[in-house]
Structure 1
Amino acid sequence: MSRSTLYDKLAPFMRRHQLLYKDATVLVGVSGGADSLLLLHYLVSVQDLWRLKVIAVSIDHGLRGKESAEDVQYVERICDNLGVPFIGKQVDVNRRKEIHKEGTQIAARILRYQVFEEVMEETGSDFLALAHHGDDQVETVLMRMVRQSNPAALTGIPVKRKFAKGHIIRPLLCLSKDEIYRYCREFHIVPREDPSNKSIAYTRNFFRLHVLPLLKQQDHQVHLHVQEMTERMTEDEEFLQAQSKSMLQEVVTCNKDTVFFNIDAFRVYPIALQRRAFHLILNYLYKEVPPDLSSQHEKDFFSLLGRDKSNVTLDFPKSLKVTKNYQELRFHFLSQVKKEWRVHQFIKVPGVTSLPNGATLTATYASGAIHEDSDTLHIPTECESLFPLSTRVRIQGDRMKVRGLNGHKKVKDIFIDEKVPAYQRDSWPLIFGADGSLLWIVGLKKAEIERKSSVGKYIALTYTESSE
């Protein structure tokens, strides 16, 4: 292949995006179609200039029987003629569809990229070159505009991105499909066409066959305009993502399965950063963001931020809860309190008892003057009717004779008065006497316990919060 107008088109694009470096190993995904064959021939033509090692990989998806197997064989013969090492692989798309209940295109893509990653590792490749072109970019952006409301989707297909231990590169994004066919004719490249590319059963083909031609009637260079837009959108998005990460570090606390922040501090930032911070939080909490997480969840989140009402909870997929507690907003997974904590568990004296919220209660014998704080309670040993002591979580109707008050008060009302977040109430430890009296809502309120003097023998209870 001579350095014709194709080189003049691709070389500046590749230089601008730093798609290659010398002495690199480049794995090329080749299907046998016009796009990938042109890309293969181009990289072979510049391999001496860049001192490249070019390797081809072709995948039979098993969707068209003998025909798709012949595509792989055809690519192998071309590679033999070009002196390019060839790797052929086969995947079972239909089996994956059946197991994972996925569509054909999704299943094929997942398996294809798994193969690409494996082969990159095996060959030590620095780059995986794929033949997506300018028309693919236009179709992708149009599809995302129709299906999504996320501005980040307009970044389109990336020219270069990290993959495996190297990068995926797409040198042909600056070319239209018509240009690719023209270059194939010029260089006597004979592609094999996949007949499924003509079927409008696939959404992409609908845009390819019906929408893109109308746009090209208005401007045959539309692929270049869209490519330039996606590059600018990518640059803007990278900046906004960096700002959002800085915002998270400033105002958001991330624990193992919980994220929380002060609402006023969060809302000081521009809405563009708030929105991205929301998605960063979800990416942190979910190992894989669920497909049923929709734009409605984002709308509900921002609606919750602006509400005056407290102790309101949103339900997100996979048991994720988003709870507003006064000025705190918390993302947390639903934690089921074990059934045994709803019945009395005896407290070891002396000893250490684990509590339902992950904290511990240490019981010791003590004597002398009492020095209590919010995390300690002293119970006179003379109050024999209170022993043995026990602990459980709240149940409906729990009441307490609060120290310093004349009469009883519902535990529910104490939690509200003390502004205890709703998600903590069901696992909050309560300490009871053997007569059924509630002695201590740990850390909050203590009961009126009759004692003969302030000096004597006691059982001292000390509450220690979990270090996690």
Structure 2
Amino acid sequence: MKNTVMAFIKEKQLLTMNATVLVGVSGGPDSMALLHFLKSLRKEWQLEIIAISVDHQLRGEESLEDLRYVKEMCMQWDIQFVGTSLDVPTYKETHHLGTQVAARELRYQFFTEQMKQFNASFLALGHHGDDQVETMLMEFVRSASSNTLSGIPVKRNFSTGSIIRPFLCVTKKEIEEYCAAAQITPRIDPSNNEINYTRNYFRNQVLPLIKEKNSNIHTTIQRLSETLQEDEIYLQTDAENMVKALVGSNFSKSEVKFKINSFEQYPRALQRRAFHLILNYLYEDLPKNLSYVHEAHFFSLLQSNKSNVQIDFPLHLKLEKSYANIRFYFDLQQEQNETFHTIMEIPGKAFLPDGAAVTATLVKECAEEDELTYFCSMEQVALPLHIRTRQFGDKMRWKGLNGSKKVKDIFIDAKIPRNERDTWPIVTDNNGEILWLIGLKKGNLKRKSNNASYIQLYYENGNM
């Protein structure tokens, strides 16, 4: 394995002599092997190695033990150690994020601080070839855009230097064999074997089947990832130049316009990317319900035989075809008191005015929840369920809250723009009790009794 990794490091120029290298270490096989591997290069490359480790406060004493284990191994290996505990549960609740997203955001904030503290050139992470395969498969399943299929980068700019991943050229099995040969006894996170998380499902159920057909799939996927990344960088640069040439001075923060025939002179690959660059420019934050469907609407508008056509995008952005011109603009005068109300069939699927959807299914057990999923007991809610926009005086209750809170105040606390509040989807039971302010707040999780089933609601915003 050492020869494979060394050849990869040299080919991709992942290290330089006399560099300060931070190593993200969890205590698991991948990161412990990486730390040990870089330690073996320390003298030859004159490297300063510093291990940084994070307790996310998600597994109680067990995750603290991981931190202590890494610290102890660093003492044995004469490696400087920096560890911290991050309050992911509170951060997740405060910022209305899923567990994995919240953990990643806090972890990378810590990584950024340490890169600056040590003026480090590199942050080495232990992602391996199997991680790359899993990532590419997940992106393929849930994405309709080629620029999201590039996978995990081998090297990218970060803080004072670069993130590097020297193990993308080897498999999990090779890393485990390396640990055994080096007499490393890593910590094992039992949640890695659960299949509630999407990645774990691909890792434990899908990847083994693929490896039966191609045991070297990690090498194939890594080459594909690098090729896609290189192609995307080239195409994005050309698309940026296209937008500059096309739009010229017809640019403002609320309006963009150009001539259709000039736009259509460029290849379709650049047209798609130019369209998304314009949206990125106009929207302060891209709406969650913006999807490939809107891209299809845009190209249908270009090809329309009608002289004057207008279509609506999220947050009151309008696309208007007027003879030979296309105009993107925000309709700031549009009334924002649109209402919506529908009854949720169980099982069934309800479509919302903005193209999003809510799917209801019956399940026996609760799986891992995130901001897009909600569970409640069928026995303890008044059916049918309703999906609607907010009404005057709406209030909500949840566990730990003394009394109730106005939905208006929840929006204010979450810094939801005014122009989004009146169209925000809300799930209630038949008594009007708010169960789920989708993506923001959940009412008490109803525990079932006897043999009652759970209702699982899943919100699809069009990006999947």
- After TM superposition, the score normalised by the length of structure 2 is 0.69
Distance 1:110 1:311, change over 3 A: farther
Q: Distance in 2 between matches of 1:336 and 1:59?
A: 48
Q: Distance in 2 between matches of 1:293 and 1:337?
A: 19
Q: Could you tell me which runs of 5 or more consecutive residues in structure 1 were left unpaired when the two chains were aligned.
A: 1-5, 339-468
2:269 corresponds to which of 244, 268, 272 = 272
Q: Distance in 2 between matches of 1:148 and 1:337?
A: 32
201-210 vs 286-295, which moves further: 286-295
2:11 corresponds to which of 9, 12, 16 = 16
Q: For residues 352-380 of structure 1, give each alpha carbon's deviation from its aligned partner in whole angstroms, at most 9, with x where no partner exists.
A: xxxxxxxxxxxxxxxxxxxxxxxxxxxxx
Instruction: Compute the displacement of 1:168 (Å).
Output: 0.8
Matched residue type, 1:113: Y
Partner SS for 2:149 = helix
Runs of 4+ in 1 over 4 A off after TM superposition: none
2:105 corresponds to which of 107, 110, 114 = 110
Partner SS for 1:264 = helix
The answer to whether structure 1 residue 284 and structure 2 residue 275 are counterparts is no
1:157 corresponds to which of 146, 152, 155 = 152
1:63 corresponds to which of 40, 58, 61 = 58
Distance 1:287 1:126, change over 3 A: farther
Q: Distance in 2 between matches of 1:303 and 1:77?
A: 62
Partner of 1:318: 315
Distance 1:121 1:248, change over 3 A: same
Partner SS for 1:336 = coil
Q: Distance in 1 between matches of 2:222 and 2:32?
A: 22
Matched residue type, 2:213: Q
The answer to whether structure 1 residue 255 and structure 2 residue 252 are counterparts is yes
Instruction: Compute the displacement of 1:44 (Å).
Output: 1.2
2:303 corresponds to which of 302, 306, 330 = 306
Instruction: Compute the displacement of 1:336 (Å).
Output: 3.1
83-92 vs 127-136, which moves further: 83-92
**Identical pairs, percent:** 51
The answer to whether structure 1 residue 296 and structure 2 residue 297 are counterparts is no
Matched residue type, 2:40: S
Partner of 2:85: 90
Paired residues, what number? 333
Instruction: Compute the displacement of 1:312 (Å).
Output: 2.9
Q: For residues 287-326 of structure 1, give each alpha carbon's deviation from its aligned partner in whole angstroms, at most 9, with x where no partner exists.
A: 3323221111111111111113344333323333222222
Q: Distance in 1 between matches of 2:174 and 2:80?
A: 27
Instruction: Compute the displacement of 1:198 (Å).
Output: 0.8
Give the 5 Å matches for 1:103-252. 103-252=98-247
Structure with larger Rg: 1
Q: Distance in 2 between matches of 1:23 and 1:318?
A: 51
Q: For residues 221-269 of structure 1, give each alpha carbon's deviation from its aligned partner in whole angstroms, at most 9, with x where no partner exists.
A: 1111111111111121122112112211211243233222111101111
Partner SS for 1:146 = helix
CA contact (8 A) 1:315 1:321 kept: yes
CA contact (8 A) 2:171 2:218 kept: yes
Matched residue type, 2:294: H
CA contact (8 A) 2:316 2:334 kept: no
Partner of 2:440: none
Q: Distance in 2 between matches of 1:319 and 1:128?
A: 42
Partner SS for 2:320 = strand
Q: For residues 430-452 of structure 1, give each alpha carbon's deviation from its aligned partner in whole angstroms, at most 9, with x where no partner exists.
A: xxxxxxxxxxxxxxxxxxxxxxx
Distance 1:114 1:213, change over 3 A: same
Partner SS for 2:57 = coil
Instruction: Compute the displacement of 1:108 (Å).
Output: 1.2
Instruction: Compute the displacement of 1:188 (Å).
Output: 0.9
Instruction: Compute the displacement of 1:107 (Å).
Output: 1.4
Instruction: Compute the displacement of 1:169 (Å).
Output: 0.7
Q: Distance in 2 between matches of 1:191 and 1:282?
A: 46
Q: Distance in 2 between matches of 1:169 and 1:260?
A: 41
Matched residue type, 1:92: D
Partner SS for 2:82 = strand
Distance 1:310 1:55, change over 3 A: farther
Q: For residues 153-199 of structure 1, give each alpha carbon's deviation from its aligned partner in whole angstroms, at most 9, with x where no partner exists.
A: 22111101111121111110001000110111011111101111111
Distance 1:83 1:281, change over 3 A: same
Q: Distance in 2 between matches of 1:182 and 1:22?
A: 28
CA contact (8 A) 1:60 1:91 kept: yes
Q: Distance in 2 between matches of 1:175 and 1:262?
A: 50
CA contact (8 A) 1:141 1:153 kept: no
1:39 corresponds to which of 34, 37, 40 = 34
Distance 1:126 1:319, change over 3 A: farther
Instruction: Compute the displacement of 1:337 (Å).
Output: 8.8
2:21 corresponds to which of 16, 19, 26 = 26
Q: Distance in 1 between matches of 2:50 and 2:285?
A: 32
Partner SS for 2:207 = helix
Question: Relative contact order: is structure 1 or structure 2 higher (C-alpha 8 Å, sep ≥ 6)?
Answer: 2
Matched residue type, 1:275: R
Q: Could you tell me which runs of 5 or more consecutive residues in structure 2 were left unpaired when the two chains were aligned.
A: 336-464
Q: Distance in 1 between matches of 2:114 and 2:131?
A: 25
- After TM superposition, the score normalised by the length of structure 1 is 0.69
CA contact (8 A) 1:29 1:131 kept: yes
**What is the RMSD computed on CA atoms of the aligned residues?**
1.6
Q: Distance in 1 between matches of 2:311 and 2:5?
A: 50
Give the 5 Å matches for 1:280-429. 280-336=277-333
Partner SS for 1:59 = strand
